Structure 1
Amino acid sequence: MTLKIDAHHHLWRYSPDEYRWISDEMPALKHDFLPVQLMGPLAAAQIDGTVLVQARQTAEETAWLLGQAKECEQVRAVVGWVALTARDLPQQLEAYQQEPLLRGFRHLIQDEADPDGWMRQDKVNAGLQRVQQQNYVYDLLVTHRHLAEAARFAARHDRASIVLDHLGKPDLAAGAKAWAAQIAPLAALPHVSCKISGLLTEPRPPGCEADDLLPFYDAALTAFGSERLLVGSDWPVCLLAGSYEAAWQSGEQAFAALSASEQAAILGGNACRIYGINGVTA
């Protein structure tokens, strides 16, 4: 039986002030999403473990996520948030060494007023260098508009794994060939991996169905290979497009023709290796 690790999902107690990115067009997300609500979908999809990822940029949320993870056996790793430009970053990272479930960090780069400029800041780059010195994974959240700068950013930081979230949020209307060209510089960096997640909720051109997204999965496989792809549900954001099972199965089905070992890597093995997840069996 193939080990399955959901490499990307969220939890939150909803507050309009704290989750301002949840717009009025997303009423399905304006609720609490806690482990108790996730257990059923995980069981139905036969998921063996998960990676819990931050959704707002506060130390308080990171602490809350770690608390939730300690109470939920299925959560095997947490990607939190830390201010890369903080003066006390070394002290924060030292304190986080006491949190064995904390395996990485993420910043909502896509929401910055100038994402390219943010990635070029000296203080940001110095901070990420410190994070990587502690061997933390860094999840990279950008859109297709900033993939070129993201490649330059990632190239400066090769001491630990970097994981591109949601395929870099491609422009679906431009097509998979255009995205493949955009992603090539990032994929050329051996320390960069890519999450097959979030594609179902990206804006689609008229008439674009879920099956029409398969060329993007094929392009990702060509670019990164089976050893650098991970599948994530992006729950509960995926509920904007359908169910948890539909989100997971979209990735599962995209790689159904691969060998058993390649499928095992994409569906769970790579997440275990990159996020340091041990002791999980199918």
Structure 2
Amino acid sequence: MRLDAHQHFWQFDPLRDAWITEEMAVIQRDFLPEDLQPLLEDKGIDGCVAVQADQSLAETDFLLSLANKHDFIRGVVGWVDLRSDQLSADLERYTEQVVFKGVRHILQAEPDDFMTDLAFMAGVKKLADFGLTYDVLVHQGQLEETLQFIDQLPEMPLVVDHIAKPQIKEASFDHWAKYMKAIAERKHVTVKLSGLVTEADWKNWKREDFTPYIDFCLEHFGPERLMYGSDWPVCLLAGSYSGIYDLLQSHISQLSDTEQGHIMGGTAAKFYSLSQY
């Protein structure tokens, strides 16, 4: 099974989606399953994992409603308030739907010490009681705290989104690599090869800009702990769906069919328990 392990849907709201600035006008519109499905089919991808882009229960309900109408949406990573007194009730309600696979919070926008706050950590730990995963969305400046966060969750299935957002445009590498090497030693952590182009120069990136980052992930995590994600439609800021797919394919083409299979679906299917499909 070939999977896109990271993409988004939304009905654009200029107030709710204020993070989509005028510089990002190309994604200031609705993006729905009818827009994505032909792109997946064109590349022979069987399904996707829809990931939250707004921090509300309404967002989770929205994604689940789409998944219930479109079989190619194989999993949903939603949002719940991990510090809420109602957390257990929310998780009980959502896990009644088999397509609900995990939770994400937009940690990249939070202040220092947020992710290691005891109340937040307790909420993340509770996800494991419900058989859920957690997507870690951070940028490279948060990696020291991210490592502390990960070490408090030794039994929790974790995946780092967008390879922790290194500053590819500036060719910044050493700080990112130092902490990602340490994270790679934590065997319960996987990584999404996603979101790369939006950390590069949107208009002038070259394939070789990404080589050291992808090579590093292959060396330290290995194909069985890596998964392809398009980050569509955010990727449209710096290219096309086809271009993003081809970028990764060109890089992993030297791997064996088995290794490519892990990255292009096998790892995601195992991590998000999608084998029933």
Tell me the TM-score range normalised by the shorter chain.
Answer: over 0.9
Contact 1:29 1:237 in 2 (8 A): yes
Return the alpha-carbon distance in structure 2 between the equivalents of residues 244 and 205 of structure 1: 14
Q: Note the C-alpha offset of 1:151.
A: 1.1
Q: Which amino acid aligns with 1:189?
A: R
Contact 1:8 1:197 in 2 (8 A): yes
In the alignment, structure 2 segments of 5+ residues that lack a partner are none
TM-score, length of structure 2 as denominator length = 0.95
Alignment of 1:12 onto 2:10: yes
Return the alpha-carbon distance in structure 1 between the equivalents of residues 116 and 16 of structure 2: 27
Alignment of 1:68 onto 2:72: no
Matches of residues 4-83 of structure 1 in structure 2 within 5 Å?
A: 4-83=2-81
* Greater Cα offset, 193-202 or 124-133: 124-133
Contact 2:195 2:231 in 1 (8 A): yes
Contact 2:203 2:238 in 1 (8 A): no
Partner secondary structure for residue 14 of structure 1 = coil
Return the alpha-carbon distance in structure 2 between the equivalents of residues 135 and 205 of structure 1: 38
Matches of residues 177-192 of structure 1 in structure 2 within 5 Å?
A: 177-192=174-189
Contact 1:135 1:159 in 2 (8 A): no
Q: Note the C-alpha offset of 1:211.
A: 2.6
Q: What is the aligned-residue identity percentage? A: 38
Larger RCO, structures 1/2 (Cα 8 Å, 6+ apart): 1
Q: Deviations over 1:44-101 (max 9, x none)?
A: 1111111000000000110010000111111100000011100111111111221110
1:135 aligns with 131
CA RMSD between the two structures: 1.5
Contact 1:148 1:185 in 2 (8 A): no
Partner secondary structure for residue 125 of structure 1 = helix
Count of aligned pairs between the two proteins: 276
Equivalent residue for 1:122, pick from 118, 125, 133: 118
Q: Note the C-alpha offset of 1:184.
A: 1.4
Matches of residues 1-282 of structure 1 in structure 2 within 5 Å?
A: 3-112=1-110, 114=111, 116-172=112-168, 173-204=170-201, 208-280=205-277
Q: Which amino acid aligns with 1:261?
A: T
- Relative to 1, partners in 2 of residues 1:35 and 1:207: Cα closer, same or farther, differing over 3 Å? closer
Q: Note the C-alpha offset of 1:179.
A: 2.6
Partner secondary structure for residue 117 of structure 1 = coil
Partner secondary structure for residue 50 of structure 1 = strand
Contact 2:78 2:100 in 1 (8 A): yes
- Relative to 1, partners in 2 of residues 1:220 and 1:60: Cα closer, same or farther, differing over 3 Å? same
Q: Which amino acid aligns with 1:21?
A: W
Q: Note the C-alpha offset of 1:155.
A: 1.2
In the alignment, structure 1 segments of 5+ residues that lack a partner are none
Partner secondary structure for residue 23 of structure 2 = coil
Return the alpha-carbon distance in structure 2 between the equivalents of residues 89 and 222 of structure 1: 38
- Relative to 1, partners in 2 of residues 1:197 and 1:42: Cα closer, same or farther, differing over 3 Å? same
Partner secondary structure for residue 83 of structure 2 = coil
